Amino acid sequence: MSRRFSLLKLFNAVAPFTSRARDTSAVMRFSVRVHPGSPTSHVGGDYNGALQVRVQSQAVDGAATKEVCALLAHVFGVRPGAVQCVKGARSRTKLIAIDGNEEDLADKLATLLSLN
C-alpha cells in the first residue's frame, strides 16, 4: 500500500476535492475615481471614463479603499470577496476587478456611469 493511499484512507478521503466552475462567471475590470471624506457614500457618474465613488472614510491606512470595495460589492450585488482593488490602492484613481456574471455587471456599470 502506497503512503498516499494510506493517508487518504486515514483521513477518510477518496479523492481530492474539486469544485464545478460556474459557466457565467467572469472578471470585469474598470476604473473608479474615489472622492474620500464625502458626507454620504454614493456610486454614480462619469469622471473622464471612470466611475465616480464617494465614500465617507478618509484616505488613511486604506480605509477609503476598503469602503470602496464594500460599497461596490453592495451596489453590484456580489459577495464582498468578489471585489478587489487591482491597481491604485493608494491613489484616487483605482482599477477594480469584480467577479460575477459579465452581462449583469456590464449593464449595472453602464447604468451607474450614466447617473450624475
pLDDT computed for residue 24 by the predictor = 52
CA distance 14 to 79: 31
DSSP label of 99: E
pTM reported for the whole predicted model: 0.77
- pLDDT above 70 for 56: yes
- The answer to the question of residue 3 being in a domain is no
- The answer to the question of residue 6 being in a domain is no
- The answer to the question of residue 67 being in a domain is yes
In the chain, the number of structural domains is 1
- The answer to the question of residue 54 being in a domain is yes
pLDDT digits (tens, 9 = 90+) for 7-45: 445 554 444 444 455 455 688 999 999 999 999 999 999
C-alpha cell at 55: 465614500
Q: What is the DSSP string of 27-77?
A: EEEEEEEEETT-SS-EEEEEETTEEEEE-SS-SSTTHHHHHHHHHHHHHHT
CATH classification at residue 93: 3.30.1200.10
Full domain range(s) for residue 74? 24-114
pLDDT computed for residue 9 by the predictor = 53
C-alpha cell at 88: 491604485
